[in-house]
Amino acid sequence: MACSQTLNGFTALDCNPSKGGVKEIYICNYDDVAAISPTINDISTADTITGITMASGKTWSKYVMRRNTASMTSTLNFDETAGVNYVSTDVLLRFNKLDTPQRIEMTALTLAETRVVVRDANDKWWLIGYDEPVVPASGTAQTGVQKSDGSYYELTLQSSDSSWPLELSAEAIADVTGA
């Protein structure tokens, strides 16, 4: 028996422009989030995250990204035979300049289990790590070869959630930014 879903379709072309890239990323320890609304049981019908409650005294760390240095890529992983269906999301971060403060921050990010909020270039906000922690997948530190190459740390964080990244409402964005 097939799973039955309500399909709505897209009846018109979207004429709005769309830009690639990431403006900001907010990261917190996975367990620093006390609650997310809606709850995981309602996520298949939810259109946005409407609230994020932090544990007492906990906050999100903000990372402002230079243009063309960060991305978010989600990939559906589906295997009918094994009954597997999840979405892995990679968040690629590049921080210019090799130095000790950057190295210390990269080390902390590679040891942590986190939740990540991405503000994309279209001013859409996305939660990654809804039901599973976001963990490091790979990273590099590079000096470059020529002066124009630059030096930087690059880190890929990855989640394996049960759905595509979920958009945040204005209220949830305020919960993350403290604004």
Predicted structure pTM score: 0.86
Other CB atoms within 10 A of residue 21 CB: 15
Query: pLDDT at residue 49 above 70?
Result: yes
pLDDT (0 to 100) of residue 148: 86
Greater model confidence, 154 or 131: 154
Q: How many residues does the chain have?
A: 179
Cis check for the bond before 38: say yes or no (omega within 30 of 0): yes
Query: pLDDT at residue 137 above 80?
Result: yes
Instruction: Please name which of 50, 73, 79, 30 lies closest in space to residue 164, comparing C-alpha atoms.
Output: 73
The pLDDT > 70 percentage for the chain reads 87
Instruction: Please name which of 53, 4, 12, 43 lies closest in space to residue 165, comparing C-alpha atoms.
Output: 43
Give the mean pLDDT of 9-32. 83
Cα–Cα distance measured from residue 161 to residue 134, given in angstroms and rounded to the nearest whole number: 9
Going by pLDDT thresholds of 50, 70 and 90, the confidence category of residue 80 is confident
Helix (H, G, I), strand (E, B) or coil at 120: strand
Burial bucket for residue 91 (CB in 10 Å: 0-12, 13-18, 19+):
buried
Give the mean pLDDT of 114-141. 95
Going by pLDDT thresholds of 50, 70 and 90, the confidence category of residue 176 is very high
Cα–Cα distance measured from residue 53 to residue 159, given in angstroms and rounded to the nearest whole number: 20
Give the mean pLDDT of 67-93. 91
Please, what is the average pLDDT of the chain? Answer: 88
pLDDT (0 to 100) of residue 14: 67
Other CB atoms within 10 A of residue 24 CB: 16
